[in-house]
Chains A and B, each alone.
Chain A
Amino acid sequence: MKNTALFLILRRMRAPILALIVTYAVSILGLVLIPGIEADGRPQYLSFFHAFYIMTYTATTTGFGELPVPFSDAQRLWVTVSLYISVVAWLYAIGTLIKLLRDPALQQLIGQNRFAAQVRRLNQPFYIVCGYGDTGSVVVRSMIERELGAVVIDSNQDRLNELMLENLPVHVPGLCADAGLPANLSLAGLNHPDCRGVLALCRDDLVNLKIAIACRLLSPGLTVICRAQSHDIEANMESFGTDAVINPFDTFAVHLALAVHSPDLHLLYEWLTAIPGMPLPERLNPPHGTWVVCGFGRFGKAVQRHLEYEGVPTVIVEKEPVKTRAPKNVVIGRGTEAVTLRAAQIEKAVGIVAGTDDDANNLSVIVTARELNPKLFLVARQNYSENDALFQSARLDLVMQRARTISRRILALVTAPLLTDFLRLARHQKPAWAQDLIGDLRPILGGLTPDHWSVSVTEEQAPAVHAWLQAGNTLPLSLLMRDPRDREQHLHAMALLLRRGKEEMLRPGEETEIRPGDTILFCGRRGVAEHQQRMLTEDRVIRYLVSGETRPQGALWRWFARREA
């Protein structure tokens, strides 16, 4: 595999090199045999060395002149002939080489070899991202920000060029190939010891399905997260144990229903799954009452189902009720005209969801609906990222972007598995619980979206804490949230979840005593995790936090300290 490119070059260069050797040999032989200018009555002959020297500067058209001695006319004639032949031979050789290097097949081969080498050299945990569209690019960028590596496969060279221009802080290898072929997945490091999983985010559900199957069979231990837009494929993927199948429509509908059910919980979810260090999003207050859903495709169906589940009545507007199997009381029409919207009693509704697969129609629905009822809560589905500017200036309350919806869930799954558990548990809490948590978090975060991280009290990840606990000491959770530079100060962080064996404690109290083997999910300001890391790994930091004394480091200072005492 690796040497194929070299073999190809050598094989194709055979003829040009032979031509060069033969022309040189003939020219040199001619020069040696042709008599030069006579000196003291005898013709002078060139030696092989001089002949080779002359050919070297003649064939390459350098042309030093008649060196080392002036030529006879016979020699001049031969040099003229040799010059033309050898220059043609050189052009032939160089032309072939350049053509070879520009050969698309060879280029692809070289690209593949380079890609494979880059993947082999990766030495930090990474995910294989199949499909670098809107979703893939957001996921890759966020993963890199959280210090996870990525390898990209996409069948479109334009998208890979975008990856190259993305200016990411870490190099992300990219391969232009069909991710559905197992060979390409292997090339991307499916069997690499640091490969953590595969994210199948291609536009085509069937390709994602192929990827999921290939990963299950070739590398069963890996995490596989797939995007799927149809329920058939979703069920198929789940049937052979794909770790997570993300349907953008369902995910968004769950999200919207959550916002209706408990705005605070929704806000908490927004905060924790956002990219760290961005301005904090504000609370949404979707009103309770009848909602109008325009478009009863996959998205409309998902929204209707989840809103009904929350007890919110809906009116469906659909142009083709038979094809989409809409319920009987459907209003027939696109929803872009005032007539249809009035028929759907838009004046009495509290919210509208424009969920067709056409961005222009969705915007039109929103604008018309707002004119008829200015108090509406506006939700629209955005199909293409090119229309960002339009959807932003439409002043919508909520926009469903496929890429953002999928990438958030993937990031939560990939960067902090514990966060997914936390959000699952949080969903079963009362709205007041979320309100309390939001109230407590707000001063800690200082206006920016939080970072989250988990700490495992094990010998590898937290050696200092582990040793401290093994020595029979106790350590309350509050201590892990003190500032290692000044123990009177608190770190801007909060413990969200503590897992001990099968037990899960939501918002563990400050006085909870840590035990070896615990895993704790924290959230806090960006950069706090690094400070906390110090107390996890350095013995003296823990000692300082517990007792307040700083023990001198090094033998000399210890000796000093003993003398002082």
Chain B
Amino acid sequence: MNIEKVIFSFFIVLALTLNFGFFLGDFDNPEHHNVYELFIVVVVNLIATVLKFGERTQMGAVLLATSLVASLQLIAAVLVWTFAVHINETGVTPSVIGTIVSLAGGALVANIISVVLLVIDISVQRR
């Protein structure tokens, strides 16, 4: 058992599950989407991205790319939230939460790709 692999897989899967948890719920209902959860999703995604820094394999490069996509999508969602609450001061209206959830949904797709790639990588190694 390789402890590095464990940590690596753990964060990739955690990024997906948390992302899915935030995404779950009514699309335009602010009550169903928790700001703490979004924060944790962003942090875990950033960690998952940094963990792939400096990988020279083809798989490592693709995983870095998908994680970067997810992180950027989530940061965009965070920015939308910040704008709505602090700058425009409209609060989290259904239309705002709709935008945030759709951005998080994009990140979810990227995270799913990450996990699928991870599974393929493991099955190819046959060990």
Which residues of A come within 8 Å of B, CB atoms? 7-14, 17-18, 21-22, 25, 28-29, 32, 47-50
Q: Which of A7, A25, A47 contacts B85 (CB 8 A)?
A: A47
CB within 8 Å of A: which of B63-85?
A: 78, 82, 85
CB within 8 Å of A: which of B21-42?
A: 35-36, 39
Q: List 9 A-B contacts (CB under 8 A).
A: A14-B53, A21-B43, A25-B39, A28-B39, A32-B36, A48-B35, A48-B39, A49-B86, A50-B86
A33 to chain B, nearest CB (A): 9
Instruction: List A contacts of B47 (CB < 8 A).
Output: 18, 21-22
Q: How far is the CA of A22 from the CA of B56 in the complex (A)?
A: 25
Of the candidates B36, B43, B53, B78, the one having the most CB atoms from chain A within 10 angstroms of its own CB is: B53
Interface size class of chain B, counting residues whose CB lies under 8 Å from the partner chain:
10 to 19
Instruction: List A contacts of B54 (CB < 8 A).
Output: 7-14
Q: How far is the CA of A9 from the CA of B51 in the complex (A)?
A: 13
B120 at the interface (CB under 8 A from A): no
Beyond A21-B47, A50-B86, 13 extra complex contacts between A and B, CB < 8 Å: A9-B54, A13-B53, A13-B54, A14-B51, A14-B53, A18-B50, A21-B43, A22-B47, A25-B43, A29-B39, A47-B86, A48-B39, A49-B86
Cβ proximity bits B82-112 to A, threshold 8 Å, 1 near / 0 not: 1001100000000000000000000000000
B12 at the interface (CB under 8 A from A): no
Closest residue on chain A to residue B82 by CB atoms: A49
Instruction: List A contacts of B86 (CB < 8 A).
Output: 47, 49-50
Q: How far is the CA of A25 from the CA of B47 in the complex (A)?
A: 11
Instruction: List A contacts of B39 (CB < 8 A).
Output: 25, 28-29, 32, 48
Known A-B contacts A22-B47, A49-B85, A49-B86; the reply to A17 vs B35 at CB < 8 A is: no
B85 contacts A18, C-beta separation under 8 Å: no
Which residues of B come within 8 Å of A, CB atoms? 35-36, 39, 43, 46-47, 50-51, 53-54, 56, 78, 82, 85-86
A18 contacts B82, C-beta separation under 8 Å: no
**Mostly helix, strand, loop or mixed at chain B's interface?**
helix
Q: How far is the CA of A11 from the CA of B56 in the complex (A)?
A: 10
Q: Which of B35, B56, B82 contacts A7 (CB 8 A)?
A: B56
> How many Cβ-Cβ contacts under 8 Å join chain A to chain B?
43
Closest residue on chain B to residue A24 by CB atoms: B43
Of the candidates B54, B56, B78, B85, the one having the most CB atoms from chain A within 10 angstroms of its own CB is: B54
Known A-B contacts A28-B39, A29-B39, A48-B39; the reply to A21 vs B50 at CB < 8 A is: yes
Instruction: List B contacts of A21 (CB < 8 A).
Output: 43, 46-47, 50
Q: How far is the CA of A11 from the CA of B86 in the complex (A)?
A: 37
Known A-B contacts A22-B47, A28-B39, A48-B39; the reply to A17 vs B85 at CB < 8 A is: no
Q: How far is the CA of A49 from the CA of B86 in the complex (A)?
A: 8
A88 to chain B, nearest CB (A): 18
Q: How far is the CA of A106 from the CA of B121 in the complex (A)?
A: 31
Q: How far is the CA of A14 from the CA of B4 in the complex (A)?
A: 13
B55 to chain A, nearest CB (A): 8
Closest residue on chain B to residue A29 by CB atoms: B39
Instruction: List A contacts of B35 (CB < 8 A).
Output: 48
Q: How far is the CA of A70 from the CA of B99 in the complex (A)?
A: 33
Q: How far is the CA of A7 from the CA of B53 in the complex (A)?
A: 8
Q: How far is the CA of A48 from the CA of B82 in the complex (A)?
A: 9
Q: How far is the CA of A28 from the CA of B82 in the complex (A)?
A: 15
8 tightest A-B contacts by CB?
A11-B54, A10-B54, A10-B53, A25-B43, A49-B82, A17-B50, A14-B53, A7-B54
A403 to chain B, nearest CB (A): 46
Closest residue on chain B to residue A51 by CB atoms: B39
B33 to chain A, nearest CB (A): 14
Q: How far is the CA of A48 from the CA of B43 in the complex (A)?
A: 13
Instruction: List B contacts of A13 (CB < 8 A).
Output: 53-54
Instruction: List A contacts of B36 (CB < 8 A).
Output: 29, 32
Q: How far is the CA of A12 from the CA of B53 in the complex (A)?
A: 9
B46 contacts A11, C-beta separation under 8 Å: no
Q: How far is the CA of A29 from the CA of B61 in the complex (A)?
A: 31
Known A-B contacts A28-B39, A48-B35, A48-B39; the reply to A14 vs B50 at CB < 8 A is: yes
Q: How far is the CA of A28 from the CA of B36 in the complex (A)?
A: 11
A53 to chain B, nearest CB (A): 10
Instruction: List B contacts of A29 (CB < 8 A).
Output: 36, 39
Instruction: List B contacts of A49 (CB < 8 A).
Output: 82, 85-86
Instruction: List A contacts of B85 (CB < 8 A).
Output: 47, 49
Q: How far is the CA of A517 from the CA of B69 in the complex (A)?
A: 64
Q: How far is the CA of A49 from the CA of B46 in the complex (A)?
A: 17
B101 to chain A, nearest CB (A): 17
Q: How far is the CA of A57 from the CA of B53 in the complex (A)?
A: 27
Closest residue on chain A to residue B53 by CB atoms: A10
Closest residue on chain B to residue A15 by CB atoms: B50
